[in-house]
Amino acid sequence: MEAAGKSSEELGLKICGNGNEEELQQHLEEVLSDQSEDDGSVPSNIENRQRARMASGNSEASDTTETISNRPRAETDSAAKSGTEAELEESEKAGKEARLRSTSEPPTPCADEECVIFNGVTYLGCSAVNAPRSEMEAQRCMSILRESSQMSIDVVLSVPTTSEGTVRVLEPDGAEIAHYRVHRILFCCRGKQETREKDCFAFTSSHGNSDLFQCHVYRCQLLEAVPKIMFSFARAFKAVPKSPRSLGVYEPSGDDEDLFRFDVTLEVKEDDGRATYSAVPRDKQFFKLRKDLQKKININVQQLSNEDLTIERCFGLLLCPGRNVKHSDMHLLDMDSMGNSADGKSYLISGNWNPSDPQFVVLNTETPKNTRVFMTIAIDLVITGIQEPVRFVVETKAQIYPSSERFWYFSKKTFHEQYNLRLKQIEGSSPNEKLYEVLSLESQSEIDRKKASMNLPLSPARSPPAVMQTSPTPATPAIEEEDENDEPLLSGSGDVSKECEGDILETWGDMLAKWRQNLSTRPKQLHQLCRKGVPEALRGEVWQLLSGCHENGPQMMENYRVLITKESPCEQVIQRDINRTFPAHEFFKDTGSLGQESLYKISKAYSVFDEEIGYCQGLSFLAASLLLHMPEEQAFCVLVKAMFDYNLRDLFKEDFKELHMRFYVLERLIEDYLPDLNQHFLNMNIESHMYASQWFLTLFTAKFPLYMVFRIIDIFLSEGIDVTYNIALALLKTSRKDLLALDFEGVLKYFRVQLPKLYRSEQNAQQLLRLACSMKINQKKLKKHEKDYYTLKEQEMQQEDPVERLQRENKRLMEGNMRLEQENDDLAYELVTSKISLRKDLDASEDKADTLNKELLATKQMLVDAEEEKKRLEVESTQLKDMCRRELERTEKEINRNATIIADYKQICTQLSERLEHQQTAAKEELARIKGQVKTCDKCCKLFTENGDVKIEALPETPDGTENPDVQAVKKQLREMELELAQTKLQLVEAECKNQDLEHQLNAALSEIQASRNSWFQKTLTSIKEVTKKDSSSSPRTPTSTTAPKTPTL
């Protein structure tokens, strides 16, 4: 069967079958006749409507919860048949019904849910599919699971009669194995008739809230049951019940549970400059706010159903930018007023909102066009009978405009949200006292989102027997994961997306273009852009520019190439550390991989470069973060800049004095900003070095997800090392409530395990960094705390026993002496080794000098031989010039002679041509004259024809029949003349051939002469000729003969 696609109703389920139209009609008639026996009659057009539903399978299945209201079940399930038709099918149906229904019916899965029970069904398993609405994919799953399923389960299938029901898979004894909401089923089909899967059917549904779709496959013991099940699925999806639930009336799930509905109205007002507040416009589901203007928030809470609950007071009005925020992230607003309305039907709350507070900087920043920001408003209401305050959370959108913006036309519609408060009545201190326990509080928006999401609840007691993984299971978002184990988050975990909005990339591109023109000055907007985050595609370049690698970058890169060739005393420690650096990242997790090799080179090069610090544990995490964005040389340059220019190396110097000073400053800041948490730490004897040492030494790169790590490095390179205080305070502030509820071991475990996992979500990390950037720490106070620390240390040293101080100093000096002795021994060993190596180098140099001397002598001899060869070649060159000069003169003479012969030959040919033409003309004239004379003679004209041919009269034959002797003589003479003519023609052809040969020879001679004139040899001869002419012109002229030369005659 296939779901209808041509009807006006939009279906959410796609059912597909493989029988022809006659089989389909027969199955439908069987099902309708079964229903007619149970429920009565059906309208006459039910058959046509069902045929229209099943005929087309081209409509796209919908995965939402919206269904079109259809006829009630009593009308849909009944069937009308004629008496004759019912009698023909009665006998056939009796046997089928007996086989389909078992003797012992299992209990109905849900008492108030109408359903159809199918026995004799076997569950084969499920398979993950990529195309949930593909019949080919479903057929493939049925084929594989039908063939390869090793263990199957005999189940009872319960198919509801309405679209709001639940398909349930039961054990034979009635226990539920799994259930699937009908509106979450995307596709349903049966096996093809000509295959082994003809007794199977399958349906596809979504698994949880993820994008994973599973195809569940079943087999029926009776082949006739498959079309009935398909029809039940189609009817269930089409039928919408007219139940109280569909009309919006709640039916409690238990006798002791009550549902209370509330309507919350939100209104935001702004200062209009006339000492009053005006409502802000609201359009397209968002508020239009103007920045830098004082605001008021008015909330009206009204109960809609059930008995009245008395609202005593509002415990607090809170606000926070964003959505899905934690309760600890909300910020308290100043309450203006609270109380019941004049009619007593609702409760009014009003509060003041100062947009200049740093917590609301997002809601006070102008947003680009067509961009919205989320804001969350919450109220804590104290309700009579409920022990704890109930928090109503309102999420809405807003667009921030300039303070001078004027709205000429807008809508003043208020924001409405409905809430369902489910309470359970509990026993009170007195019989008449009603006390409630809050079971859940959900807004209508949350309910709609949950309906739209595809959730597949499976019973944990029994999982599917066969699971065929045809596609990888997508990982669920980190923010939704609740890890129950105590394993800490591996370093290097988390994915960082390279996608970025075009406007942000364009802004960064313009800023970088200006910055490259003047690298000595940072752009003004760089500070704010770094706080918002550097695009992943630009991080490598931006980090290098922020750290100042352009100043001495080439020199530092050249130093790196030299440093990696040297040995380091920390190589074993480095090798041990790199195996623990970013094990969750693909680039570093494999031993001996390219990432670990590059990390080893950088760590080793820095330990050689910074001899005072060497290598300290923790540097590899920062180096690994840099390696993910740039090559080794550039990463080393940025690491050196971060250690020296940003004073990060001071934390590792002199027994970590600078690090302990920062611990002291952090404790004082916690005391100033988080006094309750500071007191809790004091009571638990928790010191800052127990949790913050790794934060400061590794710059938060060791445990937190990569997205947060990269954002912290953005801000660190932009603002300096003091920003670590802001980040540490922000981490403690966001986790304050959790930390206050833990003991000593729980706090340490929280810092080690739970805290890094909170920021696997980019949204949580962004909120944390926004909070860190919004915290203003007074620099004077920081300097004062640092000064107090050093003063305290001096006082401790002064109050210390001199003997103990001297002993400690003596111990320190002895350790220094031992270290210097060790260094002295190392230097002595290095000196001896250097001398030995230098001696070896000297011997090698002497050997090389001897070799070079021998080569020099050989080279000199080769030079003498070359000079002699040069002289010999000069003599040969002179002789060659003379020979060329003589050859040139001879060639010129030959050319002149050939030119004379060619000219004479041309002249002779011309004369012969003219003579031939004259003779031909004379012959023609003579022939014409003779013809004229012949025509004038009566006797002669008889011998010629009109065309001028000779008339030959037949000679009389001889009496004996032989040929006339005169004729024979004439024929003989004619043959002789023909032979002579042939010989003459042959001689003529030979003469023409000779003539052509001479012409070819002439053309070849001309070509050779022309080529010789353009050849290198000709040019050489020409140059020699010119030189000869110059020489002859410079010599004395000989007297010329006065006799003129004779002109040769032809």
Strands (E), 231-341: 257-271, 277-279, 282-283, 286-290, 295-303, 311-321, 331-332, 334-340
Cα torsion 281, 282, 283, 286: sign: positive
Q: Taking the mean position of all CA atoms in its chain, how far away is CA 246?
A: 43
Q: How far is CA 419 from CA 261, 301, 447, 493, 702, in A?
A: 6, 10, 9, 38, 43
Contact 129, 471 (CB under 8 A): yes
Neighbour-count burial of 909, counting CB atoms closer than 10 A to its CB (0-12 exposed, 13-18 middle, 19+ buried): exposed
User: In degrees rounded to 5, what are phi and psi of residue 703?
Assistant: -120, -25
Helix, strand, coil distribution of the chain in percent, nearest 5: 50, 15, 35
* Amino acid present at 813: L
What is the structure's pLDDT at 586? 86
pLDDT of residue 284: 65
Instruction: Give the residue from 184, 177, 186, 190 showing the smallest Cα distance to 142.
Output: 190
DSSP reduced 3-state for 384: coil
Token digits for 353? 């909102």
Domains 257-426 and 502-798 share a fold: no
Q: What is the pLDDT of residue 352?
A: 92
Helix or strand or coil: residue 372? coil
* Residue 31 Cα distances to 34, 36, 230, 874, angstroms: 5, 9, 10, 118
Structure tokens at 617: 């544990």
Question: Which residues fall within 8 angstroms of residue 189, CB to CB, at 6 or more apart?
Answer: 15, 16, 17, 18, 135, 138, 139, 201, 202, 203
Query: Domain locations in the chain?
Result: 14-238, 257-426, 502-798
How many C-beta atoms surround the C-beta of residue 96 within 10 A? 16
3-class DSSP state of 201: strand
Q: Which two tokens stand for residue 1042?
A: 């006065």
CB 646 within 8 A of CB 696: no
Amino acid at 680: H
Q: What is the signed CA dihedral for 466, 470, 474, 476, rounded to 10 degrees? A: -10
The pLDDT, as a whole number, for residue 570 is 86
pLDDT, position 491 = 85
Amino acid identity for residue 466 in this structure: A
Total residue length of the chain: 1050
Helix (H, G, I), strand (E, B) or coil at 401: strand
* Separation CA 41–CA 28 (nearest Å): 15
AA letter at 885: R
Instruction: Find out whether 167 and 182 touch, Cβ atoms under 8 Å.
Output: yes
Beta strand 185-190 with 200-207 is: antiparallel
Question: Among candidates 320, 302, 313, which has minimal Cα distance to 373?
Answer: 320
> Residue 599: helix, strand or coil by DSSP?
helix
Buried/exposed code over 232-264 (b: 16+ C-beta within 10 A; e: otherwise) = bbbbbbbbbbeeeeeeeebeeeeeebbbbbbeb
Cα–Cα dist 965/945, whole Å: 26
Beta partners for 395? 376
**pLDDT given at position 714:** 93
- Is the pTM above the cut of 0.75? no
Using CA atoms, how far apart are residues 232 and 237, in angstroms rounded to an integer?
A: 9
What topology does CATH give the domain 502-798? Cyclin A; domain 1 (1.10.472)
User: Which residues does 788 contact at the CB level (< 8 Å), separation at least 6?
Assistant: 664, 668
**For 753, which DSSP code?**
I
- For residue 575, give the amino acid letter: Q
Alpha-carbon distance of 709 to 619, in angstroms, equals 14
Please give the Cα distance from 138 to 127 (Å, whole number): 9
CATH topology of domain 14-238: PH-domain like (2.30.29)
Cα(327)–Cα(110) distance, integer angstroms: 38
Q: Is the dihedral of CA 457, 463, 464, 469 positive or negative?
A: positive
Rounded Cα–Cα distance for residues 501 and 493 (Å): 24
Rg of the chain's alpha carbons, rounded to an integer?
A: 54
Which tokens sit at 306?
Answer: 């059930």
Residue found under tokens 């999401």? 453
Cα dihedral sign for 81, 84, 87, 90? negative
Task: Tell me if residue 555 falls in helix, strand or coil.
Answer: helix
The mean pLDDT values, 10 residues at a time, for the chain of 1050 residues are: 36 41 48 40 34 34 30 32 37 40 41 77 86 83 82 86 85 86 85 87 75 84 87 75 40 61 91 84 83 91 81 89 83 88 87 88 86 90 86 91 74 79 80 81 80 40 33 32 60 82 87 88 89 90 90 84 88 86 87 88 91 85 92 92 89 84 92 92 90 90 91 92 92 92 89 90 90 89 89 80 79 83 84 90 92 94 94 91 90 90 87 87 86 78 68 59 75 86 86 85 80 66 73 52 37
Q: Which of 75, 73, 62, 78 is nearest to 113 (CA)?
A: 73
The helix (H) or strand (E) run that includes residue 416 is strand 415-426
- For the chain, the farthest-separated pair of C-alpha atoms sits apart, in whole angstroms, at 180
The whole-angstrom separation of Cα 89 and Cα 86 is: 5
**φ/ψ of residue 417, rounded to 5:** -145, 135
Q: Which CATH number applies to 257-426: 2.60.40.10, 3.40.50.720, 3.40.140.10, 3.90.1150.10?
A: 2.60.40.10
Contacts of 371 (CB under 8 A, 6+ apart): 399
Count Cβ atoms within 10 A of the Cβ of residue 846 and give its class: 0-12 exposed, 13-18 middle, 19 or more buried: exposed
**816 class by beta-carbon count within 10 Å (0-12 exposed, 13-18 middle, 19+ buried):** exposed
Do the Cβ atoms of 467 and 126 come closer than 8 Å? yes
